[in-house]
Structure 1
């Protein structure tokens, strides 16, 4: 690999890992133990199916941990749908990027990484906008749980585990410490 390409890949890999872990808590859960979403998937688990299953598993996990009530369902449903939408778009964009990366020159690769990073920022804005109305409906106990859960997600995604995995060449979707926790 050309030294410039290696440097470019090293500089942009953290952005791709963040994309792979899109929506903060949405994709932090490992897809390895995610349930199958369709009977046809039982024989073949595509990355898209694994990704969707991981998002659904994380949605269920957050719903259970935060003890969402029937009265909070409309706000929860909007938040969960934002997670699904973000995850679907991110998965498609990452797959397209990965398929084209080997034929991109450095300029095209840099633009692609920038586009993925912008998409991640846009998705986080959408997720945040969907979360605020939900958070406003939570009890003090639920808020304390949410505060703990989302602080923990930030620490996991921006702490030593993520950087440790990157130093050892782990790619998004690999079984890295950052992707495996829950």
Structure 2
């Protein structure tokens, strides 16, 4: 799998940055038609590369699905906005790190390769902590019914991922 990540840094960034929650909602609500994602500000999109714009478009589509499935209310909008901003920033951060790694990979020795991957992993961990904190803020604003819905979606995705990983371990 690392070879796929090296060839597709934007994909890797998206997969790692959007986290379990967005994956859970996407899988749980795959059949749900999404509404248009909120527009990104002109200042943000004009400075982006086409690849970065594609990452943000994909993140925004997943966020729109999540927003619709949770049923974010006007009172929850502020917390929702914080969560979406962290999601987008994380996606761009990780993409940039994988792009930089891809540019220098051919000249890295084994130690540099390990250090590069460690830096990406550390940044991803920091970003996931920020995403978790922003999600905790949002979660605390949700109604009990919304919390129950998102709890079930996260649990289902975590169970599926655990089952998948355990199956791989048995075949190793």
TM-score, length basis structure 1: 0.65
Distance (Å, rounded) in 2 between the aligned partners of 1:18 and 1:151: 23
Instruction: Pick closer, same or farther for the CA change 1:110–1:27 going to 2, 3 Å.
Output: farther
Q: 1:111 aligns with which of 111, 115, 136?
A: 115
Q: 2:74 aligns with which of 70, 73, 86?
A: 70
Q: 1:84 aligns with which of 79, 85, 88?
A: 88
Distance (Å, rounded) in 2 between the aligned partners of 1:57 and 1:25: 16
Does structure 1 retain, via aligned residues, the 8 Å contact 2:59–2:87?
yes
Distance (Å, rounded) in 1 between the aligned partners of 2:21 and 2:58: 8
The answer to whether 1:122 aligns with 2:126 is: yes
Q: How far 1:156 moved relative to its partner?
A: 5.3
Does structure 2 retain, via aligned residues, the 8 Å contact 1:19–1:116?
no
Three-state SS of the structure 1 residue aligned to 2:76 is: helix
Does structure 2 retain, via aligned residues, the 8 Å contact 1:86–1:123?
yes
Distance (Å, rounded) in 1 between the aligned partners of 2:88 and 2:14: 14
Q: How far 1:66 moved relative to its partner?
A: 0.6
Q: Which has the higher helix share?
A: 2
Unaligned runs of 5+ in 1: 1-8, 39-44, 168-182
Instruction: Pick closer, same or farther for the CA change 1:69–1:20 going to 2, 3 Å.
Output: closer
Distance (Å, rounded) in 2 between the aligned partners of 1:138 and 1:18: 30
Instruction: Pick closer, same or farther for the CA change 1:27–1:63 going to 2, 3 Å.
Output: closer
Does structure 2 retain, via aligned residues, the 8 Å contact 1:27–1:54?
no
1:23 corresponds in structure 2 to 18
Alignment: residue pair count: 145
Q: How far 1:148 moved relative to its partner?
A: 2.2
1:177 corresponds in structure 2 to none
Three-state SS of the structure 2 residue aligned to 1:65 is: helix
Does structure 1 retain, via aligned residues, the 8 Å contact 2:20–2:157?
yes
| 1:86-136 deviation digits (Å, cap 9, x = unpaired) | 111111111111222122111101001101111111011101111112111
Unaligned runs of 5+ in 2: 27-33, 41-48
Instruction: Pick closer, same or farther for the CA change 1:151–1:63 going to 2, 3 Å.
Output: same
